[in-house]
A = this chain, B = another copy of it.
Amino acid sequence: MTTDTPRKQQIEDAASTLFRERGYAATSVRDIAHALDMQGGSLYAHVASKEDVLWAIVVRAADRFNAEVGPIAASDRTAARKLRKMIRAHVAVVTSAQKDAAVFLDEWRFLSPERRATIAARRDDYEGLFRKAIAQGVGSGEFGRIDSAQTAIVILSALNGIASWYSPDGNLTAAQIADQHADLFIRALTWAKPTDEGEDP
């Protein structure tokens, strides 16, 4: 177990890179083994199938998001403070575990139907953390009267998009990106009034 655990993680890391670059479908077990200077056969001593590796990557990404964001969502804070901290935590996972996050977001559809259903349920629960934080703010009057379910989807779509464009060498740090998103969305939520841009002629 002690020797097996790091090897398993190496396999998941190599697979995560390949799944992200080429897509799950175009990556073979042999490709993963090759990236680790292993024989295809000896890789099977550690993992039962390519889908098991995808599953391991997707689960560890889901676990990571939950571990970072869950405690904040459950904490006793005003909705705006809570949502800002949740956005920061989510962006920290997307940017620090970018490959895993990208695989989690883009490749999970290649899981078997049963596993896909498990992940769909976990994603819905996770989205629920954002729904509840937004609904808390709507209830307390901190936020305007918006659709919290729909707004949670919009926020998470934008945050997840970061996985596809973020570069550690870019102009903005992960913390700055998180704060820009938090500023934008909290402004939008805090302002209750409908927009007043007039009618289009």
Contacts and interface: CB of A to CB of B under 8 A. Distances in A.
Contacts of A106: 106
A136 to B, nearest CB: 13
A133 to B, nearest CB: 12
A139 interface: no
Nearest to A79: B197
Interface string A158-170: 1011101100000
22 contacts: A23-B24, A23-B25, A78-B197, A78-B198, A80-B197, A81-B198, A147-B180, A151-B180, A156-B161, A157-B162, A157-B164, A157-B165, A160-B161, A161-B161, A182-B195, A184-B185, A186-B195, A187-B188, A187-B195, A188-B191, A190-B195, A191-B191
A172 B188 contact: no
Contact of A84 (B153, B165, B197): B197
Contacts of A77: 200
A154 B80 contact: no
A118 to B, nearest CB: 18
A146 interface: yes
Contacts of A151: 180, 184
B153 A165 contact: yes
A85 interface: yes
Interface centre among A180, A194, A195 (most CB of B within 10 A): A195
CB-based closest 8 A-B pairs: A157-B161, A25-B26, A80-B197, A188-B188, A158-B158, A25-B25, A187-B188, A186-B195
B195 A181 contact: no
A118 B156 CA distance: 29
Interface centre among A25, A161, A186 (most CB of B within 10 A): A161
Given A25-B25, A154-B180, A187-B188, A200 B85 contact: yes
